[in-house]
Amino acid sequence: MNADLFAEPVEALDEGAMLLRGFALDTAPALLAAVRGIAVASPFRHLITPGGFRMSVAMTNCGAYGWVSDRSGYRYDPLDPETKHAWPPMPPEFLHLAVSAAQAAGFPDFRSDVCLVNRYEPGTRLTLHQDKDEGDFTQPIVSVSLGLPATFLWGGMGRSDKQRRIPLFHGDVVVWGGPSRLRYHGVAPLKDGSHPELGAQRINLTFRRAR
Ligand code: MD3
Ligand code: FE
């Protein structure tokens, strides 16, 4: 992993939000190999929202917890409800990337205990939401984009605040902390295309501290 902050462009998107273009490019093949292993143990699935809708994003997790949703609500669960087993462990290359990105963005104390793995196909979207199921909002979230590019929607503290559209490409990493931690955000419907390593897919890793 290239830990040299000055080797890559770092852009402040907002207070506490740093975009590290290409930060994960070197490790992307290893990350994708690890994602395949995770999906063998805990397959991608389309969760049901508390309102009864099937999410268009397919998800799995690794680490001590996993984020899950069903008719009873959202939660972090130490067991995969599909397999009834613990989630696969966080691969060392995942943890190393997340900690070094957080450090490069000014969060030296990031201690991630879960990585949510999202899989997008053309047409898949993520409606505007806040991430507020975690126990400690002083811990940032680190996101890694792999595969097809996506348009990230960056909103405000209210659901109907004006949004910015930010393109995210293979290898981009964003660290979301401080006042940015609770902003509304989402992903516009994925455009069709083909990525040399992933085909018509986008994989997003989000590293969090659940508890
Ligand atoms: C800003 N995932 O899993 S990553 C999510 O591309 C999620 O799959 C999107 O939103 C994706 O919850 C966006 C960027 C991201 C993740 C979490 C955030 C941005 C965030 C939490 C707070 C603020
Ligand atoms: Fe989110």
Question: Mind listing the pLDDT tens digit for each residue in 77-133?
Answer: 999 999 999 999 999 999 999 999 999 999 999 999 999 999 999 999 999 999 999
Q: Is the CB of 118 under 6 A from ligand 1?
A: yes
Instruction: For residue 29, name the pLDDT band (cuts at 50, 70, 90).
Output: very high
**Alpha-carbon span 95 to 207, nearest angstrom:** 8
Which helix H or strand E contains 97, and what residues bound it? Answer: helix 92-104
pLDDT digit string, tens, across residues 46-77: 999 999 999 999 999 999 999 999 999 999 99
pLDDT digit string, tens, across residues 130-181: 999 999 999 999 999 999 999 999 999 999 999 999 999 999 999 999 999 9
**Alpha-carbon span 145 to 139, nearest angstrom:** 20
pLDDT at 4: 57
Q: Is the CB of 42 under 6 A from ligand 1?
A: no
Among protein residues, the one whose CA lies closest to atom 17 of ligand 1? 141
Query: Tokens 């063998």 appear where?
Result: 40
Q: Of 57, 125, 204, which is best to mutate to test ligand 1, by the most ligand atoms within 8 angstroms of its C-beta?
A: 204
Q: Residues 175, 101: contact at Cβ < 8 Å? A: yes
Q: Of 23, 117, 141, which is best to mutate to test ligand 1, by the most ligand atoms within 8 angstroms of its C-beta?
A: 141
Does residue 7 have a pLDDT over 60? no
The pLDDT > 90 percentage for the chain reads 95
C-alpha torsion sign, points 113, 42, 120, 197: positive
Q: Is the CB of 185 under 6 A from ligand 1?
A: yes
Atom from ligand 1 closest to the CA of residue 150: 6
Residue 95: count of CB within 10 angstroms of its CB: 19
* pTM, rounded to two decimals: 0.96
Tokens at 196, concatenated: 């040399």
**How remote is the CA of residue 10 from the centroid of ligand 1, in Å?**
18
Does residue 45 have a pLDDT over 80? yes
The residues, any chain, with a CB within 8 Å of residue 76's CB and separated by 6 or more, are: 65, 66, 67, 68, 114, 133, 134, 210, 211
**How remote is the CA of residue 185 from the centroid of ligand 2, in Å?**
6
**How remote is the CA of residue 22 from the centroid of ligand 1, in Å?**
17
